[in-house]
Structure 1
Amino acid sequence: MKNFKKLLIFFSGVSGVSASSANTAQNTAQNTTQKFLSFSLVFLAILAVLALQALTPLPLTPLKATSFCGPLELEFEGYSFINPEIVNTKATYAPYFLRFNDLYRYYDTLEQIQEGDNLQEWSERFCNLYSKDDLRTVIYKATARDIKRLRNAANDKKAALPVRIKNNSFAFHLRDEKCLEVIDYLIFAKQCERHVVVGEGWSTPKRNVEEMLKMIIRGKRAFMKTASYYVRLRYAYQIIRLAHYAKKYQLTLDLYDELMPKIHANPSLIDYWILGHKAGALLKLGKNVEASYLYSLIFAHSRSKRQSAFQSFSIKNNKEWEQLLKRCKSDAERAMLYAIRANEDGSNEVEEMGHIYELDAHNENLELLLVKEIIKIERDLLGKDFNDNRKRNERYFHIPRKKAGEHLIRLKTFVKKILKEKKVARYDLWRIAEGYLTFLAGDYYEANQTFAKIQKTLKTKNKALEEQLEVAQLALNIAQLDSLNQETENGIGDIMRENPLYWKYKDFPDYINDKLGAIYKKTGEKGKAFRLHYSLRALKLNPDLEIINDLLRICDKKNKSSLEAALVKKDGLTTIKSDLLKLKGIVLFNKGEIEAAAVTFRKIPRNDRDVSKKFNPFHEHIIDCVHCPIADTLLYDRVGIVDRILKLEYDGRAHLENGAASFYQLGNAYYNMTYFGSSWYVTDLFRSGANWKYVNKNNRYFTYESDRGNVENMDMSRAKKYYETTLELAKNKELAARACFMLAKCNLNEFYLDKDTEYHPFDNKIPVLPEKYNAYYLQFKKEYSDTEFYREAIEECLFLKAY
């Protein structure tokens, strides 16, 4: 799945005639589909909530929220600065030569294209008098029974039209003008549909071949009786298609040869639909060359069948290729063959471009293939030294390609030939391409020189080309950076604040962040590198003291660059300094540096402290309750907790004879501030209830919010230390019983976290503790069963009672 983009915001119908069988197929799958949709809606709702959480913005927002749970597709993560408008994206073959990138947004499905083209042709045959909706209803939605009733109405004015078409203007025309040939054809077409439906998934539906052959005979009789050549053409399509779907491939060819000479209609998209079935039959009979030639014609002339023609094109060796070229009747047909082959996986695109160029230097596919190849090389080489997803791209997409450099050299050599001969339609496009390829090759000096020369001599007043030149120069300027100072940081801030290209080209934020991040990592400025890729939230999930200190250094810097100011900006007036101090205090506290944590927490202005968050971790809990309300009236903030801990530590050590109670409270505090206690928020700003099931030695857990993961405070060692001291010093048996019980709870938690433990607390079963984890439970039962606390614990803790 693709990561949410890192931002750095500064200062801110199958037959062409009828779809009755398609409707039948839809009805067959309707119940399954509804169940799936019900599940999908719930699942998508959950994802939406997760996405909203992941996108919670910082005012500065240089964030990179990672993938969250879900069956989402991985995408290549890189950069592209090709202006979509430098080529004609409405060109005939743009959807196929540019379909693997964002240059071309091809939203319509093949079914939509086929239906739209078919309706357009029907509309033209009836002088564009009727709406597409009315045509669609009659041709695609009405059933065979509906059309039979329409025929009755054409012969009998008293007969009513069916409900589906009773207010349909096209149906009125067919009825009033007694267009019986068209009506009879529509009935036949709808009866054919059930024989030519496509199977679900990879399955092929079982076909009634005997009945299909009878339908062919019926169709031929109707064909011969029909006067309209256009309706004959439609009949021929249905008949030939039936033979193809029945796998009667020789019959398909015979029917084509028999029927097509009897039709003298104007050119129609149906001609190529029929040709597709002839080509399919030839391919099945092993006549690859003849079939591929027909597919090339279909590819060239039929928008609705272009994709299937490309996929069916099949030439297996050079001998077949030479035979195919000999079948071509013009250079245009030969150029199309080379264009098709250039678009196949593993082809030598530059060689094919060379053939096209020799046949037709003005061929529009040359520019499309040029841009396609540049985009491939962009993926291979642009930012390869600093792209933070390069390992992922190598692993999942094998990018960069092993011979990326050779691809670039071949393309650049071809471009130089084009520029030398000056035959192409848009010379300036190829000049810019040469400069951009030089940039991608890493020759920044030569690329600068080339761009500067083009800028002075750009012949074409073309805004798209002018913008392409400007955006290429901007990307080059960023790539050339190898060190940063206040001046360059201010310059980058100006780009982000003022340059419209920064926001127009969606990869610029990523590109700049990754480049700057790589430089900052080299110079040891971890805070800057972090903030270019992550939100402050990610640091809260997994605090890093070096990052925190570097960001605090920037916060305290009097003369910040515009970039630095943005990195630590919280809102219009303040910085993230208080958040960082809180994080630093938590990290120091968890490391056991209590005095340093106290000093850090006190640096936070009172107005910025978590005034609404108060705790009492010193209180004991027989049953752990992570989110239970605190009943005590004596509550503390973090400063108060640290002060109380320091005092208890002093009291306990100063009066060892009577210090057991102080050490017991310290044990409670350290227990309750772990993952398992009610005051966990004191030492951890995010807790996931599922993570004790995935405990690991690194104590780092997956979260959809950050690929840095989430760190939990699951360390029981300090709590155990103070409980053990209490048990050793306690003169009061009741206090000793409490300490022993809490030690047993610590051991139980450690059992949960043991990598060899298969039991999970959510199982709602009593665990069988191994010997190394049950010593304190046995001691509690053996030595303290006569205490009041023992009876209280047994009464409150059903698990202990059963145990």
Structure 2
Amino acid sequence: MIYTLSCGPTPDPYDYYISFFSPYTKGGGYEPFYYTALTNFFGNPTPSEETANVADWQNYAGNGVTEKDIRECIYTYPKEQLSAIAEGSAALPDSVKRNTFAQFLGKEKNREAARYLLFAKSCEPAVTREDQWTAPQRNNVLMEALYKEGLELHDKVKDKDIRDRYSFQLIRLRHYSQQYGEAVASFDQLFGEKERASLVYYKALALKAGGLYHLKDSVQSAYLFSRVFDKAPSLRLSCFTSLMWTNAGMEQVYPLCKDNHEKAMVAAIYGFSNPEPDVTAIRWVYAFDPASPALNILLGREINKLEDAYFSPLLGEGGTDMVGIREDSPGERSRMLAKLNELQTVTDSLVQKGKLKDADLWRVSSAYLSYIRKDYPAAAQQLAAVRAKDPEVKDQWEIVNLLVNINQQKTIDSAFEAKLLPSLKWFDTKTAGIGNYWNRAWDGSDDKRFAFGKIYRNLLFAILAPRYHRQGELVKESLIRGRCDSLNMNDYFVSGQTSLDQINNDMKPATLIRLKEFLHQPGKTPYESYLAGFFPKGVNLDQAIGVSYVRLHDFSNARDWFKKAAPDALAVSYQVFHEQLQDFGEDTAAGPYNKAITQLQFCERMLQLQEKMKIAPVPAKVYYDYATALFSISYYGRTWYFVKGYRPSTSWYSPDCDKDAFDKQYFGCYAAESYYTKAAQASTDKEFRARCAFMAARCSQKRIVSRDDRDKYIHTWINNRYFPLLAGSYRETKFYQQAYNQCSYLRDYVKSTRKK
């Protein structure tokens, strides 16, 4: 007898808790610092460094040169192609001749830019590495030669923008040849004190910051990294990482800041590094710079943290079956509630001061916090005060307003459903065109739509479905779950919440029959028709109803419904009537058990056995086959799929199982044990009776409840109430020896009795 616990799936680090607050609202450029507890960074910044570089070159080249052609020329053309362009060669492929940026570079007045790109292409292998897992191999001889060449080209160039690009390459060559002092000095000499607005300037400044770090000036290094972080969104991720490596405290960095805006950015960066709910960074950033765009990101992070640590577990009590990754003890929940209240107090106080750049977003956020606290009148009042014109803020307002309206409604009736329908269709416009989560566009273009998709899914499975469940409207609950499934966004904690899961695993026969009738009935309301239109296609409700009757061991009604189902919709077994001596193995054709048994044939056989049990004397084999079939369709049996669509590896019997007729037999095997004992009583064959006793022992052992006291727990496993019978009355049978050799618990029992 084997009891196995195994690991489950790894959660999606961007979608593992219930959220209705999109991090993408007013957060462009700060994407890496949206909240997630499961990975170092949420995503890549917008724009990417490549996109920012292309934009710089487009500004340089002016009208008539396309972004696509710049990207193609810089990032795909080999050195030889760039050399031919720089030399003004006429022998160029047609595709290159058509490239607008290549045309620009080919003009005599732009040859300096072409020669620079050729030089940059030469430098790239010397200052990069193959991948993040490979240690860089620095060729200092090559870098020194490139430095001399670059310095000569730099001094000859007349174009100031191109000269700055050469300056960056020279600083980079010094930095990666570990001549950090010279790299820092080169920056000061080549760029001076006047700040530029170009990407290449900030890349060079980041190299200076890195050089200072290696020279042990960690505070100055941290300050410069904060400046690059502020001014160059495409470099924020790398600068944040480097700043954290300096280990400089923000109080050390503040004195270097030239104004309060710079101090606010330093405070924000350190706030982004805090994974725990904490309003300190919001307070500091606002005190320095109330208009800082980082405030919106910090606010979103705090809301998302509390959704993760407080709101999701709270919703889990309302009917969802989520797998949490955060502690949810009463003490921790109380602590998170205090953090929630503190965040709302801070949010409201900053709104009242009137200096926030996006005050309406903060008002909507406060309303959402009131919603989480279940103070719906306050949330409604706060929403009524918002006059947002910004589309992103208006979208978030719509979401919070919908949540408040649903929770203020005591019963979701047909009148409210009519009001709810436009909101569901509004979500359709926001999620139009998104496909399966794993087929999304990973360049960030789909991120906002997928955020709406997740919010819509969360509304359906975590809010509306449980509400209908509590109202006893299980058909509507199934329809809501069907709409949720159609979004193709079910992942991790939504597992087990789908319409198919509900139909195949949980629904009782009467509810399934009502569902079938509803789907075929005319005269549905627009709301009902909308939901029914998304109900999973290909679901054979006749088969599902038959399965639901099998769960109740009502094989007569199950047979009748299986007859209505298409033959190819019925599951097939080979070993459902074959005893299972151990808790492993699949129900496949093997040995004499090679004939397929459909669910319909199974029910017909069970009914035949029931009829035989009505006529005394009942053959022992009849009881035995009936018991074996019941065990086979239990949680532990090979043919569990006759009654369930899914069998998790971590479920087990508990006393609560006895409260439900199906769970009692599925996990407890009471009836199977009873029929095994009846089979033993009806037989005089000791070998057969020994087999019956062992199978009854297996059924009995399934009801052992885990205990804190390990010794008592093991004692219970060893002292099965059937073991004395096996070891006493049937010790001389061949089957006993077989059971003794395979069952360690039986062996431990026998050994323990010998000691006495």
Q: TM-score range by the shorter chain?
A: 0.5 to 0.7
Indicate yes or no: 2:595 matched with 1:628. Answer: yes
Indicate yes or no: 2:166 matched with 1:235. Answer: yes
What is the alpha-carbon distance in structure 2 between the residues aligned to residue 141 and residue 323 of structure 1?
44
What is the alpha-carbon distance in structure 1 between the residues aligned to residue 376 and residue 647 of structure 2?
51
Q: Match of 2:346?
A: 414
Q: Match of 1:79?
A: 18
1:419, 1:431 within 8 Å by CA — same for their partners in 2? yes
What is the alpha-carbon distance in structure 2 between the residues aligned to residue 641 and residue 348 of structure 1?
61
Deviations 1:438-468 (A, max 9, x none): 33334445445x34xx52x555566665664
TM-score, with normalisation over the residues of structure 1? Answer: 0.61
1:343, 1:349 within 8 Å by CA — same for their partners in 2? no
**Given the alignment, which residue of 118, 136, 144 partners 2:71?**
136
Answer with 430-439 or 191-200: which moved more.
Answer: 430-439
Q: Match of 1:475?
A: 403
Deviations 1:191-229 (A, max 9, x none): 222211135334422212233233323322332233333
Indicate yes or no: 2:235 matched with 1:311. Answer: no
1:495, 1:502 within 8 Å by CA — same for their partners in 2? no
Summarize the Cα distance change of 1:497–1:132 in structure 2 as closer, same or farther, 3 Å threshold: closer
Answer with 206-215 or 348-357: which moved more.
Answer: 348-357
What is the alpha-carbon distance in structure 1 between the residues aligned to residue 62 and residue 569 of structure 2?
74
Report the residue type matching 1:475 in the other structure: L
Summarize the Cα distance change of 1:168–1:647 in structure 2 as closer, same or farther, 3 Å threshold: closer
Answer with 332-341 or 284-293: which moved more.
Answer: 332-341
1:94, 1:368 within 8 Å by CA — same for their partners in 2? yes
Summarize the Cα distance change of 1:184–1:773 in structure 2 as closer, same or farther, 3 Å threshold: farther
SS of equivalent to 2:613: helix
What is the alpha-carbon distance in structure 2 between the residues aligned to residue 649 and residue 244 of structure 1?
88
What pairs with 1:286-365 in structure 2 (closer than 5 Å)? 286-314=216-244, 321-322=250-251, 324-345=253-274, 350-365=279-294
1:741, 1:776 within 8 Å by CA — same for their partners in 2? no
Summarize the Cα distance change of 1:316–1:444 in structure 2 as closer, same or farther, 3 Å threshold: farther
SS of equivalent to 1:386: helix
Root-mean-square deviation over aligned CA pairs: 6.1
What is the alpha-carbon distance in structure 1 between the residues aligned to residue 143 and residue 569 of structure 2?
77
Report the residue type matching 2:350 in the other structure: I
Q: Match of 2:137?
A: 206
Indicate yes or no: 2:612 matched with 1:648. Answer: yes
SS of equivalent to 1:82: coil
**Given the alignment, which residue of 228, 244, 247 partners 2:178?**
247
What is the alpha-carbon distance in structure 1 between the residues aligned to residue 48 and residue 157 of structure 2?
29
What is the alpha-carbon distance in structure 1 between the residues aligned to residue 547 and residue 509 of structure 2?
10
1:745 deviation in Å?
12
1:673, 1:682 within 8 Å by CA — same for their partners in 2? no
Deviations 1:104-145 (A, max 9, x none): x997678x8222222232233333444444433443333334
1:394 deviation in Å?
1.6
What is the alpha-carbon distance in structure 2 between the residues aligned to residue 540 and residue 466 of structure 1?
37
Indicate yes or no: 2:198 matched with 1:268. Answer: yes
* Unmatched 5+ stretches in structure 1: 1-66, 590-596, 654-658, 699-706, 730-738, 756-769, 781-803
The structure having more radius of gyration, on CA atoms, is: 1
SS of equivalent to 1:393: coil
Q: Match of 1:366?
A: 295
Q: Match of 1:189?
A: 120
Report the residue type matching 2:295 in the other structure: L
Q: Match of 1:283?
A: 213
Q: Match of 1:118?
A: 53
What pairs with 1:361-440 in structure 2 (closer than 5 Å)? 361-382=290-311, 384-387=313-316, 388=320, 392-395=324-327, 403-425=335-357, 427-440=359-372
Deviations 1:557-602 (A, max 9, x none): 99xx999999999989xx999667634542443xxxxxxx366558
1:624, 1:676 within 8 Å by CA — same for their partners in 2? no
Summarize the Cα distance change of 1:200–1:396 in structure 2 as closer, same or farther, 3 Å threshold: farther
Report the residue type matching 1:233 in the other structure: D
Deviations 1:245-287 (A, max 9, x none): 12211121122233335x9998532111111111110112121
Deviations 1:625-646 (A, max 9, x none): 5563579xxx975664344224
Q: How many matched pairs?
A: 639
1:315, 1:321 within 8 Å by CA — same for their partners in 2? no
Summarize the Cα distance change of 1:749–1:289 in structure 2 as closer, same or farther, 3 Å threshold: same
What is the alpha-carbon distance in structure 2 between the residues aligned to residue 463 and residue 166 of structure 1?
43
What is the alpha-carbon distance in structure 1 between the residues aligned to residue 172 and residue 665 of structure 2?
57
1:555, 1:568 within 8 Å by CA — same for their partners in 2? no
What is the alpha-carbon distance in structure 2 between the residues aligned to residue 227 and residue 461 of structure 1?
48
Summarize the Cα distance change of 1:746–1:522 in structure 2 as closer, same or farther, 3 Å threshold: same
Q: Match of 1:499?
A: 423
**Given the alignment, which residue of 518, 527, 546 partners 1:582?**
546
Report the residue type matching 2:308 in the other structure: R
1:147 deviation in Å?
3.7
Q: Match of 2:442?
A: none
What is the alpha-carbon distance in structure 2 between the residues aligned to residue 405 and residue 689 of structure 1?
36
What pairs with 1:161-200 in structure 2 (closer than 5 Å)? 161=92, 165=96, 168=99, 170-171=101-102, 174-175=105-106, 177=108, 180-200=111-131
Deviations 1:272-313 (A, max 9, x none): 111111111011212122222222221222232222222222
Deviations 1:653-683 (A, max 9, x none): 1xxxxx7xx5546655665776499xx9998
Indicate yes or no: 2:642 matched with 1:685. Answer: yes
Task: Tell which has more relative contact order, 1 or 2 (C-alpha 8 A, sep 6+).
Answer: 1
What is the alpha-carbon distance in structure 1 between the residues aligned to residue 272 and residue 121 of structure 2?
37
* Unmatched 5+ stretches in structure 2: 1-5, 431-451, 482-495, 519-523, 580-588, 655-662, 703-726, 739-756
Q: Match of 1:258?
A: 189
What pairs with 1:580-729 in structure 2 (closer than 5 Å)? 582-583=546-547, 585-589=549-553, 597=554, 600-601=557-558, 607=564, 624=591, 628-629=595-596, 637=601, 640-653=604-617, 663-664=620-621, 667=624, 671=628, 675=632, 685=642, 728=684
Summarize the Cα distance change of 1:617–1:722 in structure 2 as closer, same or farther, 3 Å threshold: farther
TM-score, with normalisation over the residues of structure 2? Answer: 0.65
Summarize the Cα distance change of 1:222–1:118 in structure 2 as closer, same or farther, 3 Å threshold: same
What is the alpha-carbon distance in structure 2 between the residues aligned to residue 749 and residue 193 of structure 1?
73
Report the residue type matching 1:82 in the other structure: F
SS of equivalent to 2:234: coil
Report the residue type matching 1:648 in the other structure: K
Report the residue type matching 2:546 in the other structure: K
Report the residue type matching 1:271 in the other structure: Y
What is the alpha-carbon distance in structure 2 between the residues aligned to residue 392 and residue 619 of structure 1?
39
What is the alpha-carbon distance in structure 1 between the residues aligned to residue 93 and residue 212 of structure 2?
43
Deviations 1:721-751 (A, max 9, x none): 687678648xxxxxxxxx9799989989999
1:379, 1:400 within 8 Å by CA — same for their partners in 2? no
Deviations 1:370-408 (A, max 9, x none): 344333334344364332466613259999787433433
**Given the alignment, which residue of 134, 146, 155 partners 1:224?**
155
Report the residue type matching 2:303 in the other structure: I
2:20, 2:399 within 8 Å by CA — same for their partners in 1? yes
Instruction: State the percentage of identical aligned residues.
Output: 20
